[in-house]
Structure 1
Amino acid sequence: MLAETICSAVSAAGLGIAAITAYRRRFLAAARIAAYALVPVGLVMTGAVEWLAETAFSPLAWAGFGVLGVAWVLFMTTRAVERRRGGAARVERGTRKERKRGGQGPQAVEPAASAPSPGSGRPATAKPAEDFSDIEAILKKHGI
């Protein structure tokens, strides 16, 4: 009963402010204020305020909110742990798939030029992974 009275008073005050704003010839702002002022009365008429007031003073409802909070904390904790382990798990999944395919993954196919030569003592230069001919053509076009 008290919540409904407070909502009605807030709506009446909001409608008064809307009337003063309309008197000052700011009709768009007055209409917006009136819309906001009618929301509490609408909530009272639908019964949402009564339900909210009953929920706010119910120990069972607060226990339910506590359970929801614990569930949320567990959910977020498991997501954080999954993100930390995500990189290792993905690599492990990738090696499992490679074993199933017989080790023919993209890592197994390497060009012979990238392997170090046995007698030189230093690795041979790796072949670039991308072709930069289009970039060179653009630079030559601009005189760079």
Structure 2
Amino acid sequence: MANRPPENWRAWMAEVARDVEAGILGPECAGAVEMYPESLLKATDSVLEAFEAEMRVLVEPSDEEAFGAVERVVLALNAVDGDAGHGGAGYCTEEREQLCEYIDLTLGEHGVDVAALAARRGINRAEITDAWRDW
């Protein structure tokens, strides 16, 4: 199963904290942990968990079912990204790339040939989230 991006973000924050404590990074780097407030991490995890649950019940999903699941997860991630309750934190380039890769991998883990799915829509597999993505 693909690692959810918030797992990567938590690991990065822990590494930065360790490096600041060890003196490898300067104290000015300690604020990096504010990039991912717990509210953002939990909300993102919740959305991705729902996406995984939806994919688990689909058996040989049709294109419409697969794209429907993608649309729902992307719209839910849009809501998380736009939530002011995260103190201004949200998804930037690195986070966006990890989220898109996660969606692609999760589809694949549940029997979706993502390249073929995208080709049938006349898009590149990297564009499967673009129709709905604000982040």
Q: Answer 1 or 2: higher relative contact order, Cα 8 Å, separation at least 6.
A: 2
Shared fold, TM over 0.5 = no
Q: Which has the larger radius of gyration?
A: 1
